Amino acid sequence: MIQFIPAKINIGLNIVEKRPDGYHNLETVFYPIGRFNGTPAVPYPFGDVLEITPSKTTDHTFTFTGRTIDCPLEKNLVVTALRLFEKQYNEKYGLEMPKFDITLDKHIPDGAGIGGGSADATYMLRGLNTLCDNPFDLNELSEMALHLGADCPFFLLDEPAYGEGVGEILTPIKVDLKEKWLLLAKPDIYISTAEAFREILPKHPETSLKELIQLPIQEWRHHIVNDFEESLSGRFPEIINLKQMLYNSGAEYASMSGSGSSVYGIYRNREEALHALTAIRFCGTPLPFATLIKL
């Protein structure tokens, strides 16, 4: 089985309160990105590729290519997802799960706030569930996904969703961005999630994001915010500068995604997005990662 893995952007991200368990409640809109990349109409490589095949050995094997992550094998989220699924499967059926050969070809940058690692882990759960004759329903998979990361349950869906709680309470929401194009860029900085939350001051917004997202996209810039931008702007001015460059190049809406550090701009069509990418690169802005994505 071969799976082409997308990522996500956050359209708006409000940190509304700190919970007794130390985590934070939030509201955000998750939007999937990269599903069309790699096709003739969108010839820009982006998503990760996960291959899962039955193993002829007595244990699972793992091969990682592309943007490899420097961490111990057992801390890789793909491996963690497999171990979790295997444990649940063995406990449910009282027998050992079949062994698999796993290959992940990674293109989505890490530390970008677009859920690359979370998507890989969740698609591992999805793939294993299919190959093992669907032993778990959606609710059971969601519980496993949440154990791996707050935004993992979103990747069990294939549609935009309004997220509450720590991001695990998901409601499908209508956000029509079809035919629009995204310019996604990541400056040469890394922001850990823990670091981002350390500076945040929770507050309830005057108007729910669920209402604001229904405004015309041209009005989003005046109403929809990512709370992390304010808290991180002092230490990472590159993010705000890049966001302003996207607006200067014609973006209808621009924002940092998640807790950073990637920034995206939404454009009316491919030509405008491509012109913006060319203009930003011409200015000499160091961008180790930048690509176009059809929404």
56 catalytic? Reply is no
158 catalytic? Reply is no
Among 8, 106, 180, 294, which one carries the catalytic annotation?
8
| Gyration radius (Cα) of the chain, Å | 19
**Short-list 158, 176, 134, 124, CA closest to 2:** 124
Among 151, 180, 186, 243, which one carries the catalytic annotation?
151
CA angle, residues 15, 16, 20, in degrees to nearest 5: 100
Q: What's the DSSP call for residue 45? A: -
Beta partners for 105?
A: 49, 65
CA-CA distance, 59 to 61, in Å (whole number)?
7
Contacts of 30 (CB under 8 A, 6+ apart): 8, 9, 10, 151, 154, 160, 161, 162, 163, 167, 170
CA-CA distance, 266 to 93, in Å (whole number)?
47
CA-CA distance, 88 to 97, in Å (whole number)?
10
**Short-list 144, 168, 217, CA closest to 23:** 168
Instruction: Calculate the CA 30 to chain-centre distance.
Output: 8
**Short-list 166, 173, 162, 137, CA closest to 151:** 166
Pairing between β-strand 100-106 and β-strand 61-66 as defined by DSSP bridges: parallel
As given in the structure block, the two tokens for residue 1 are: 């089985």
Catalytic residues: 8, 151
